[in-house]
């Protein structure tokens, strides 16, 4: 993975799961990718995380990528998800 721009604006699209059934999608825009990542890992219910995609510019990141960015040494924010089960 190329170096991620944690300070670039990001958008989060989340849904309660994946699959053939249509489910409502929620959308949130963040001033930085770091804030979007923090929200996804620390605040979004785990059930919604599975269907989450983050867009930063032309790049798309699914939950495994978002988790890797959160766990990265380069992640600029303090982590509050030490007790959160990793999915």
The first and second tokens of residue 5, run together, are 């721009």
H or E element: which one contains 5? Answer: none
**pLDDT exceeds 70 at position 37:** yes
Average pLDDT over residues 14-40: 85
Average pLDDT over residues 22-38: 91
pTM passes above 0.85: no
Cβ-in-10-Å burial (0-12, 13-18, 19+) of 34 comes to buried
């Amino acid at each position: 993975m190329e170096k991620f721009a944690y300070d670039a604006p990001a958008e989060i699209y989340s849904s309660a799961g994946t699959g053939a059934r249509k489910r409502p999608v929620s959308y949130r825009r963040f001033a930085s990718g770091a804030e979007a990542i923090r929200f996804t890992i620390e605040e979004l219910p785990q059930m919604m995380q599975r269907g989450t995609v983050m867009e930063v510019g032309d790049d798309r990141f699914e939950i495994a990528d978002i988790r890797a960015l959160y766990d990265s040494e380069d992640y600029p924010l303090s982590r509050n998800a030490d007790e959160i089960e990793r999915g």
